[in-house]
Amino acid sequence: MKTFLSLIFLAAGVTAYAQKMPVKSDKGAVPKLKQKAPENAKVLKTDTVYITGKVANFAKYKDSANSVQVIINDLAFGQQLTYRAKIKNDGTYRLAFLKTGPQDVMFQYHEDLENILVNPGDHLQIDFDAAGMEKSLSFSGAGATMNKDRYDFQKAMVNDPGLGYKGNNFARFMQASKSEEKNGPEEHKKFLADRYARETVFLNDYIKKHKLDPIFIGWAKADLKYDYFDQLLRYVWMHPSKTGQSSKDFKIPASYYSAIDSANINELSGSISSNYGSFLHEYQRYFYKKYLGEKWGNGDDRMALLFKQQAGLSKDVILSHTLHDWVQNRRFDQVKAIIDKYKENTVQPTFKARLARMYQDEVDKLNNYNAATVAQSATILKTDADSIFNNIITKYKGKAVYIDLWATWCGPCIGEMPGSKELAGKLKGKDIVFLYVCVESEEKKWKTMVKELGIDGGENLLLTNNDYKALCEKFQISGIPRYLLVDKGGRVFNENAQRPSESGLMEDIEKLLAAR
């Protein structure tokens, strides 16, 4: 059963949601970094999670879906991490990844997406039938009980007459969406507060009547709480977006935020729900606006404000998000100037270690870009994803390649096409190829849209589902549109390249064109 308490995150796990900021993560084998929580539990435990299982009837479906994926809403950097395991011919698979703190994550096979709970150090087995994962999921091993509890609870909740969801997994989401559009601030606040109260009563009663795994109980409480807070803050920009109002003219009374202002948002127990990370993403907007004004100040102002805050998980997360974004945008001088102070102000050791490692990796990558060792390493094919990507770009050796990952149903992707066509026109005759790689789309619709969008004069490719899943892990693709820049030698210059509508793209392209 698809989780409806965390529906926003389920939706964000698939590429139907276009991303605002491209993402990437630590790559390679399962890292050896470990951090056990001390007795006072101020530090989230980090350890490897192992998921194994067997897929029944896999042979019938392997041509369209040959792997399973785990998608994590990463608390430290506010990105989505994708881990993939190819399924063997006998239907078995094995997946391992490093995880900080227990959390709900998304488990995906083909188009089926399920929410599961994982705990650092657990060995969880998930078996299912390729013909339909949702109705055939079977859990065993460490973590099985909490996942069975989660499944049973959500089934009971969606079918409870008093809550009014009438067995419809999407009813809860639709009710909130309607209130978000139709109601004013105080009415929407009351709607959310009343729902939170009813669901909390239901949860407490359910806990009394059932013998439940304590990790599940912690997750259920946190999931309700931070869904409530997240929805409160999303309304601030979602309501004017849905009603056509100017967000600047839409006024929210200070009393609207009373529940959030009085809450403890630093509890480690909250991080078990992905709603906690989503809430903190929204909370940043509120926090900066409250203390720095409508324009939030500049980056230095925000950092200075954050450093003054009391130590805690929310501070760690927001600081880490900010520096991660700076590294992604290659603002290395700013990161260098502040990284030591970041380490002093951050409690979670895993956050600090990952940020420092990512920063150094990106600096080294840029500094060594023209080194012979880098050029040699680009030709070594280590995984099936490397082979897939090499096959895509090999015919364009000697030319730079701007890769546009898009889909026929993706509005933001289509919205960028006019700018892409214009840029391609300006660069006509230059040593650069615009390669439009369509994903998760039907062939007939793809061919039609290529003509309608006027990109039939460029290079076009429809990627298979299996190949796309492989590239999702290689480049940590969690949303489209997504763009990559490849140099004349076939090396990836920027796997998070700017969009056609962004001014910095031409500068990067000119660098590649100038290179010999």
Please spell the DSSP secondary structure of 235-255, one letter per residue.
HHHHHHHHHT--TTT----GG
Pairing of strands 67-73, 80-86: antiparallel
Tokens 């499944």, located at residue: 151
Q: 282 in a domain, yes or no?
A: no
DSSP code of residue 6: T
Beta carbons of 348 and 313 less than 8 angstroms apart: yes
211 vs 115, 270, 507, CA distance in Å? 21, 22, 61
Residue 142 in tokens: 């460490």
Beta carbons of 75 and 103 less than 8 angstroms apart: yes
What is the Cα–Cα distance from 369 to 60, expressed in whole angstroms?
44
Q: Which of 90, 112, 144 is the last residue of a domain?
A: 144
Q: 289 in a domain, yes or no?
A: no
User: Tens of pLDDT along 216-239?
Assistant: 999 999 999 999 999 999 999 999
- Whether 17 and 105 map to the same domain: the answer is yes
Which strand (E) or helix (H) includes residue 433? strand 432-438
Cβ neighbours of residue 49 closer than 8 Å, sequence gap 6 or more: 96, 97, 98, 99, 118, 119, 120, 121, 122, 124
Q: Which of 144, 176, 200 is the last residue of a domain?
A: 144
What does the pLDDT read at residue 249? 87
- Whether 347 and 421 map to the same domain: the answer is no
- Whether 36 and 106 map to the same domain: the answer is yes
- Whether 361 and 387 map to the same domain: the answer is no
DSSP 97-154: EEEES-EEEEEEETTEEEEEEE-TT-EEEEEEETT-STTT-EEEETTHHHHHHHHHHH
**What does pTM read for this prediction?**
0.81
Ordered strands of the 482-486 beta sheet? 459-462, 432-438, 400-406, 482-486, 492-494
- Whether 388 and 447 map to the same domain: the answer is yes
What does the pLDDT read at residue 480? 92
Which of helix, strand or coil describes residue 18? coil
Q: 67 in a domain, yes or no?
A: yes
Cis previous bond, 31, omega within 30: no
Q: 216 in a domain, yes or no?
A: no
Give me the residues paired with residue 46 across strands.
35, 100
User: Tens of pLDDT along 148-194?
Assistant: 999 999 999 999 999 999 999 899 999 999 999 999 999 999 999 99
Q: 266 in a domain, yes or no?
A: no
- Whether 303 and 422 map to the same domain: the answer is no
CATH code of the domain in which 450 resides: 3.40.30.10
What is the Cα–Cα distance from 119 to 49, expressed in whole angstroms?
7
Q: 439 in a domain, yes or no?
A: yes
Q: 209 in a domain, yes or no?
A: no
Domain containing 507 equals: 382-514
What is the Cα–Cα distance from 431 to 396, expressed in whole angstroms?
10
Q: By C-alpha distance, which of 353, 348, 357 is closest to 318?
A: 348
| Positive or negative: CA dihedral 264, 266, 268, 270 | positive
Beta carbons of 140 and 125 less than 8 angstroms apart: yes
Q: What is the domain count for the chain?
A: 3
Q: Which of 99, 127, 144 is the last residue of a domain?
A: 144
- Whether 349 and 405 map to the same domain: the answer is no
What is the Cα–Cα distance from 165 to 143, expressed in whole angstroms?
28
Cβ neighbours of residue 268 closer than 8 Å, sequence gap 6 or more: 41, 42, 44, 101, 313
- Whether 309 and 436 map to the same domain: the answer is no
Q: 503 in a domain, yes or no?
A: yes
Beta carbons of 349 and 35 less than 8 angstroms apart: yes
What does the pLDDT read at residue 7? 37
* Residues of the chain predicted below pLDDT 50: 1-41, 371-380
What does the pLDDT read at residue 153? 97
What is the Cα–Cα distance from 142 to 498, expressed in whole angstroms?
42
What is the Cα–Cα distance from 18 to 3, expressed in whole angstroms?
21
- Whether 362 and 393 map to the same domain: the answer is no
- Whether 137 and 88 map to the same domain: the answer is yes
What does the pLDDT read at residue 20? 33
User: Rounded to the nearest 10 degrees, how much is the dihedral formed by the CA atoms of 231, 232, 237, 242?
Assistant: 60
Tokens 């009438």, located at residue: 166
Cα 497 from chain centre: 17
Widest pairwise Cα distance in the chain: 72
What is the Cα–Cα distance from 93 to 110, expressed in whole angstroms?
15
Q: By C-alpha distance, which of 176, 145, 144 is closest to 5?
A: 176
What is the Cα–Cα distance from 147 to 46, expressed in whole angstroms?
20
CATH code of the domain in which 98 resides: 2.60.40
- Whether 321 and 420 map to the same domain: the answer is no
Query: How many alpha carbons lie under 13 Å from residue 188 in its C-beta half-sphere?
Result: 27
- Whether 30 and 127 map to the same domain: the answer is yes
